[in-house]
Chain A
């Protein structure tokens, strides 16, 4: 079993829809949670960074962490065609530096 599971999709939504992306994990030691967006043939771009449980909002993006359920989510409101990309969740332990454990990514297409 992989430490981080992410539905690969593909996910296709109409412009303006609310998108929900999710990851589950098995290691309760994870405390740092990140979401990255990766366009084709580009490096991952950091969208959200969250420590421990709770919600964090940044513009149209909201990240949620539920450590009791080992479940994290990224919500995208008012989705735009420019949001079409692969979304990667990543997480790490305390004091393990940049050794992130990544999900396999969810491919999202927003249709105009």
Chain B
């Protein structure tokens, strides 16, 4: 069974540019969530999508946005990049359904974004 696939693995962008990251969840999983990981703050929740709808959102500025497609693949976009956006961006895939509590979430390898 294929795991969670994130592309690209590495990105270098210039301040002010925008970037789009992609996540393909485990087959059959309908929930995709995104996290930012930095040495100082650890893993911080960005947002979660389930069946193409954003279900939860963390405390990040509006420059961070996402979407989910009908095949459950998800993209995350960051506009007007700042140096502080340099981080490992992780997506997690879960099979949980509506009205249920959390189930196991499986992470991808992440996309390491460097803003220069």
Total inter-chain residue pairs, C-beta < 8 Å:
77
A-facing mask of B43-60, CB < 8 A → 1, else 0?
A: 111001010000110100
Q: Does B109 contact A (CB under 8 A)?
A: yes
- Our pick among A31, A46, A100, A105 for the contact of B106 (Cβ within 8 Å) is A46
Instruction: Give the docked Cα–Cα distance between A45 and B99 (Å).
Output: 25
B-facing mask of A75-104, CB < 8 A → 1, else 0?
A: 000000000000010101011111111111
Contact A99 B33 (CB under 8 A): yes
In the complex, what's the smallest C-beta–C-beta distance from B98 to chain A, in angstroms?
Answer: 9
Chain A residues whose CB sits within 8 angstroms of the CB of B43 once the complex forms: 44, 88, 90, 100, 102
In the complex, what's the smallest C-beta–C-beta distance from A38 to chain B, in angstroms?
Answer: 9
Interface size on B, residues (CB 8 A): 32
Given contacts A43-B90, A51-B101, A104-B42, contact A99 B107 (CB under 8 A): no
Q: Does B68 contact A (CB under 8 A)?
A: no
Q: Does B31 contact A (CB under 8 A)?
A: yes
- Our pick among A44, A49, A88, A98 for the contact of B31 (Cβ within 8 Å) is A98
Which residues of B are at the interface with A, using a C-beta cutoff of 8 A? 4, 6, 31-33, 35, 42-45, 48, 50, 55-56, 58, 90, 92, 94, 96, 99-110, 112
If A31-B101, A34-B105 are given as contacts, then 20 extra A-B residue pairs at C-beta distance below 8 Å, sorted by A number, are A43-B4, A46-B105, A46-B106, A49-B104, A88-B42, A90-B43, A92-B102, A94-B101, A95-B100, A96-B56, A97-B55, A97-B94, A98-B31, A98-B33, A98-B92, A98-B96, A100-B35, A101-B45, A102-B43, A103-B42
